[in-house]
Amino acid sequence: MSNKVIMLGNEAIARGAYEAGVTVSSAYPGTPSTEISEILCKYNEVYTEWAPNEKVAVEVAFGASVAGARTLACMKHVGLNVASDPIYTFAYTGVSGGAVIVVADDPGLASSQNEQDTRMIARSAHIPVLEPSDSQEAKDFTVLAYEISEKYDTPVILRTTTKLAHSQSVVEIKDRVEVPLKPYERNVKKYVMMPASAIGRHVYVEEREKRLSEDANTLSVNKIENGDSKIGFITSGIAYQYVKEVCPEASVLKLGLVNPLPKKLIEEFVSSVETVYVFEELEPVIEEQVKSWGLKVLGKELFTRQGEYSANLLRKVLFGKTQEVYQKQQAPNRPPILCPGCPHRSVFSVLKKLKIHASGDIGCYTLGAVAPLDVIDTTVCMGASISALHGMEKAGGKEFIKNWVAVIGDSTFLHTGVNSLINMVYNKATGTVIILDNRTTGMTGHQEHSATGKTLKGEETYAVDLKSLCLAVGVPNVVEINAFDVQTLEKTIKESVLGDVLTVIIAKAPCALLKGQKFLTYNVIDDEKCKKCGMCLKIGCPAISKRDGKMVIDDTMCNGCGLCLNYCKFGAIEVKSR
Amino acid sequence: MKNVMIVGVGGQGTLLTSRIIGKSALALGYDVKISEVHGMAQRGGSVVTFVRYGKKVSEPVVEEGVADVIIAFERLEALRYAHFLKKGGVIVVNDCRIDPMTVVTGAMTYPEDIIKTLEKDYTVYSIDGQKIAKELGNSKVLNSVVLGYATRHLGIDKETVIKTVEQTVPQKTVELNVKAFLSGYNG
Contact residues, chain A, for B41 at CB < 8 Å: 110-111, 336
Tally the C-alpha atoms within 13 A of residue A27's C-alpha that lie toward its C-beta: 35
Cα(A152)–Cα(A210) distance, integer angstroms: 11
Long-range contacts of residues B140-144, Cβ cutoff 8 Å, at least 24 apart? B140/B13, B141/B173, B141/B176, B141/B177, B141/B179, B141/B180, B142/B12, B142/B13, B142/B73, B142/B94, B142/B180, B143/B12, B143/B13, B143/B14, B143/B16, B143/B17, B143/B73, B144/B169, B144/B177, B144/B178, B144/B180, B144/B181, B144/B184
Return the amino acid letter for A445. Answer: G
B121 shares contact with chain A (CB less than 8 Å): yes
Contact residues, chain B, for A338 at CB < 8 Å: 43-44
3-state secondary structure of A183: coil
**Shortest CA distance from A31: residue in chain B:** B39
Mutation target to probe the A interface, by most A beta carbons within 10 A, among B12, B104, B141, B145 is: B104
Tally the C-alpha atoms within 13 A of residue B150's C-alpha that lie toward its C-beta: 31
Helix H or strand E segment including A554: none
Cα(A530)–Cα(A116) distance, integer angstroms: 50
B28 shares contact with chain A (CB less than 8 Å): no
Return the amino acid letter for A203. Answer: V
Contact residues, chain A, for B117 at CB < 8 Å: 329
Beta bridge partners of B123: B90
Go through the domains of chain A in sequence order and give each one's CATH number. Answer: 2-215 (3.40.50.970), 223-319 (3.40.50.920), 343-508 (3.40.50.970), 521-577 (3.30.70.20)
B89 shares contact with chain A (CB less than 8 Å): no
DSSP structure class, residue A45? T
Cα(B118)–Cα(A85) distance, integer angstroms: 54
Mutation target to probe the A interface, by most A beta carbons within 10 A, among B6, B33, B43, B113 is: B43
Cα(A256)–Cα(A258) distance, integer angstroms: 6
Go through the domains of chain B in sequence order and give each one's CATH number. Answer: 2-186 (3.40.920.10)
The ipTM is: 0.92
Direct distance between the N- and C-terminal alpha carbons of chain B, in angstroms, rounded to an integer: 27
Cα(A133)–Cα(A140) distance, integer angstroms: 11
pLDDT reported for residue B13: 87
Cα(A224)–Cα(A255) distance, integer angstroms: 9
φ, ψ of residue B166 in degrees (nearest 5): -60, -35
Scan residues 504-543 of A and list those with Cβ closer than 8 Å to B: 537, 540, 542
Among partner residues B35, B44, B139, which is closest to A166 by beta-carbon distance?
Answer: B35
B83 shares contact with chain A (CB less than 8 Å): yes
pTM, two decimals, is 0.96
Would you state the torsion angle of the CA atoms of residues A387, A393, A394, A396, taken in this order, to the nearest 10 degrees? Answer: 140
Cα(A403)–Cα(A486) distance, integer angstroms: 18
A307 shares contact with chain B (CB less than 8 Å): no
Q: What is the pLDDT of residues B30-43, one digit of tens each?
A: 999 999 887 666 67
Closest by CA position to A38, among listed A458, A439, A408: A458
Per-residue burial over B90-128, b = 16 or more CB atoms within 10 Å of its CB, e = otherwise: bbbbbbbebbbbbbbbeebebeeebeebbeebbebbbbe
pLDDT reported for residue A1: 44
Q: What is the pLDDT of residues B131-148, one digit of tens each?
A: 999 999 888 899 999 999
Cα(A3)–Cα(B127) distance, integer angstroms: 38
Contact residues, chain B, for A170 at CB < 8 Å: 26, 31-32
Among partner residues A168, A312, A444, which is closest to B22 by beta-carbon distance?
Answer: A168
Provide the 10 A C-beta neighbour count for residue A26: 26
Return the amino acid letter for A223. Answer: K
Contact residues, chain A, for B20 at CB < 8 Å: none
pLDDT reported for residue B41: 63
Q: What is the distance in angstroms between the Cα of A323 and the nearest Cα belonging to chain B?
A: 6
φ, ψ of residue A137 in degrees (nearest 5): -65, -35
A6 shares contact with chain B (CB less than 8 Å): yes
Return the amino acid letter for A435. Answer: I
Scan residues 148-187 of B and list those with Cβ closer than 8 Å to A: none
pLDDT reported for residue B180: 97
Contact A537 B104 (CB under 8 A): yes
Q: What is the distance in angstroms between the Cα of A103 and the nearest Cα belonging to chain B?
A: 16
pLDDT reported for residue A324: 75
Mutation target to probe the B interface, by most B beta carbons within 10 A, among A334, A367, A564 is: A334
pLDDT reported for residue A172: 97
Residue A548 contacts residue A370 (beta carbons within 8 Å): no
Per-residue burial over A320-352, b = 16 or more CB atoms within 10 Å of its CB, e = otherwise: eebeebbeebebbebbbbbbbbbbbbbbbbbbb
* Cα torsion A105, A109, A112, A113: sign: positive
Query: Would you write out chain A's pLDDT as a tens digit for each of its 578 residues?
Result: 468 899 999 999 999 999 999 999 999 999 999 999 999 999 999 999 999 999 999 999 999 999 999 999 999 999 999 999 999 999 999 999 999 999 999 999 989 999 999 999 999 999 999 999 999 999 999 999 999 999 999 999 999 999 999 999 999 999 999 999 999 999 999 999 999 999 999 999 999 999 999 999 999 999 999 999 999 999 999 999 999 999 999 999 999 999 999 999 999 999 999 999 999 999 999 999 999 999 999 999 999 999 999 999 999 999 998 777 788 889 999 988 999 999 999 999 999 999 999 999 999 999 999 999 999 999 999 999 999 999 999 999 999 999 999 999 999 999 999 999 999 999 999 999 999 999 999 999 999 999 999 999 999 999 999 999 999 999 999 999 999 999 999 999 999 999 999 999 999 999 999 988 889 999 999 999 999 999 999 999 999 999 989 999 998 889 999 999 999 999 999 999 98
Closest by CA position to A17, among listed A181, A220, A221, A173: A173
φ, ψ of residue A435 in degrees (nearest 5): -90, 115
Provide the 10 A C-beta neighbour count for residue B73: 26
Q: What is the distance in angstroms between the Cα of B27 and the nearest Cα belonging to chain A?
A: 9
- State how beta strands A257-259 and A129-130 pair: antiparallel
